[in-house]
Amino acid sequence: MERKQHATRRNGIVAALLAGLVVLWAPAQARANADQNFDQAYAAYESKDAAAAIEHLSAVLQTPGLSQKGQAAALFNRSVLYSQTGQNEQAVQDLNALLEMQPQDVAALNSRGAAKMALGQYDQAQADFDTVLRLRPDYVKALYNKGIAHFRTGAYEAAVKDYSDALALKSDYAWAYANRGAALHALGRVDEAINDFNQALKLNQNYALAYYCRGKANESKDMYEQAISDFQNAIRNDPQSPYAYNRLGWLYATCHASKYQDGKKALEQAEKAVQLSRVAITLDTLAAAQARIGQTKEAAATQKEALGELKNTPAVQPLLERQYKDRLALYESGRAYAD
């Protein structure tokens, strides 16, 4: 959160207003209350208390005589906090209100697109990003967000173009390199993908996602030593993310090269992943790890739970469900699974 002399609204940055900038005609006490609530919202944000920051920004919006600039700043900032706490429907509502006042606000349009994307409303999100780019063709974050939306809907070629366009404008954009690499990997262009992950890591050697993605690419080339190292680096740089734990556990549990199968290590990594996020994919890995150490009854029970979680997932893929069921049949027959 950043303090500036004037109301500032930038992507993902919450800014506090200084006294006297947000109220046009209200009594002095109302002005003082608005300024105090902005300051308290700033302090709450700094102390990572998003709920309190939202409460103080809501109080600002109740101020009689609040200027349009003050309303816009409070709405945008509150929408950022809503998005950061997973309350994307509320974020969209705030951004709708802001855009009624300022329909060509590219930061608000881009943020609304991101919130809609988080809600799975990809067509509407793309419409917002396209509007941003009509207004500002050089708005790099809208290109990047378009790439994410295309990737999530399986339009990998379009995602590669979006990320390439973003990199043409911002050559040191590590996130765009990593995400383009993921799209290239999905297209089977693994060597190109690894080159992008390498470039992302040159720009940011602590970039956990780039390590994770490069690990998956190396694993797909049967380069298991490199994959294990990458997953370990991903964990080292982001120990609260379940993804690298999960993938490393899966490699140890299911690698077709028996040299790398290690049930004990697999179970250790899978249990960490489940502790961080008990969802279908982490439970599937935990079941594979349990089966690898001979606990096939436990594995079958865990796989049933994984199937239940998978069926509760929107737009579950029939192929994935069949794979989960096939692994369940293996465990029920007392056998382990290998890729």
Contacts of 62 (CB under 8 A, 6+ apart): none
> pTM of the entire structure?
0.85
State in words which class domain 240-339 has: mainly alpha
Which residues make beta-bridge pairs with 23?
A: 66
Q: Tell me the helices (H) and strands (E) count for the chain, helix number first.
A: 17, 2
Tens-of-pLDDT digits for all 339 residues of the chain?
A: 333 333 333 333 344 333 333 434 455 667 778 788 888 988 888 899 999 999 999 998 998 888 888 889 899 999 999 999 999 999 999 999 999 999 999 999 999 999 999 999 999 999 999 999 999 999 999 999 999 999 999 999 999 999 999 999 999 999 999 999 999 999 999 999 999 999 999 999 999 999 999 999 999 999 999 999 999 999 999 999 999 999 999 999 999 999 999 999 999 999 999 999 999 999 999 999 999 999 999 999 999 999 999 988 766 578 899 999 999 999 999 999 998
Residue 303 and residue 284: Cα distance in Å, rounded?
Answer: 6
Q: Which amino acid is at 220?
A: S
Q: Are 16 and 3 in contact (CB under 8 A)?
A: yes
Question: Roughly what angle, to the nearest 10 degrees, separates helices 242-254 and 263-276?
Answer: 150
Pick the closest to residue 151 from 162, 164, 141 (CA basis). 162
Q: Could you tell me the residue ranges of all domains in the chain?
A: 240-339
Instruction: Compute how many other C-beta atoms are within 10 angstroms of the C-beta atom of residue 134.
Output: 13
